[in-house]
Amino acid sequence: MISSFLFMATFVLLGIPTAALFIPWCWLTGNVLPLYKGTRFMLHSSCWMAGVRFQVEGLERVPKDQACVFMANHVSNLDPPALISLIPGRTSAFMKRSLMQLPILGTGFRQGEFISVDRSGSAAAAKESVAAAQRVLAKGVHITTFVEGTRSPDGRMLPFKKGPFFLAMAAGAPVVPVSIHGTENILGKGSLRMKPGMAHVIFHPAIGPSSFATREELMQAVRTTIASGLPEWMRT
């Protein structure tokens, strides 16, 4: 529980001044970068204080000066803060609608142009989310998505959702597959107990959607690539 306490204490101690300073600044100026950079520093510092270390490979493979769609597997609640603190440049992400309505945090998410997702399964809502993501990409902001749609209960890969692949093919944006493992041991699904440990994050070479005739072919290529960076037991 010490790691959990240190993570939350650092998160709160840095989060309060970050929100107090940079949310009003964004309202006044329309410039979200100070809030985004402050949030990245807060997340990285919270992980560090909790004893979480990152072994990162492949950041040099991320295309420069081009908005990308980062697609990762999902094994822990630690995955989003890990990726946001590591991805170069600014990224948006798909997020449950309920989180967008939280006080203060929800305001920051909206200012950062995070994209609300309706989990009802409505086709109209899915199209609306994809359209919003295309607008964000057009501004030069990355999109980060966990393509299984939810955390794996045991670390093994789940089936992928189709929405991110509609987005990638419609926008023509490079897809950067990301493999994450180790976070499932640091903060497991359904647990609030963090443990110190090493999280492994691999950024694979970008994949061009235009090289594939269908989204199914693109999906299979991304799945194969993500799996290649995971321990064998997680690939099932």
pLDDT digits (tens, 9 = 90+) for 140-177: 999 999 999 889 999 999 999 988 999 999 899 999 99
Per-residue confidence band for 121, with pLDDT thresholds at 50, 70 and 90: low
Q: Would 160 be classed as within a structural domain?
A: yes
Report d(CA 17, CA 23) in Å as an integer.
10
The pLDDT > 90 percentage for the chain reads 70
pLDDT higher than threshold 90 for residue 120: no
**CATH, residue 151:** 3.40.1130.10
Residue showing tokens 């089936």 = 159
CA 74 and chain centroid, separation: 9
Q: Would 3 be classed as within a structural domain?
A: no
Q: Would 212 be classed as within a structural domain?
A: yes
Q: Report pLDDT for 18.
A: 95
pLDDT higher than threshold 90 for residue 1: no
Q: Minimal CA–CA distance to 175: which of 144, 206, 137?
A: 206
Q: Report pLDDT for 70.
A: 97
Report d(CA 11, CA 31) in Å as an integer.
23
Q: In this predicted model, which residue has the larger pLDDT, 104 or 165?
A: 165
The DSSP output letter for 234 is G
Report d(CA 192, CA 16) in Å as an integer.
21
- Share the mean pLDDT of the chain: 91
Side-chain-facing half-sphere of 35: CA atoms under 13 Å: 25
Q: Would 148 be classed as within a structural domain?
A: yes
Domain count along the chain? 1
Q: Would 77 be classed as within a structural domain?
A: yes
Distance from the first to the final alpha carbon of the chain:
31
Report d(CA 145, CA 183) in Å as an integer.
17
Q: Would 19 be classed as within a structural domain?
A: no
Q: Report pLDDT for 118.
A: 73
Q: Would 197 be classed as within a structural domain?
A: yes
Other Cβ atoms within 10 Å of 127 Cβ, number: 12
Per-residue confidence band for 95, with pLDDT thresholds at 50, 70 and 90: confident
Q: Which domain holds residue 215?
A: 53-234
Per-residue confidence band for 122, with pLDDT thresholds at 50, 70 and 90: low
pLDDT digits (tens, 9 = 90+) for 4-34: 999 999 999 999 999 999 999 999 999 999 9
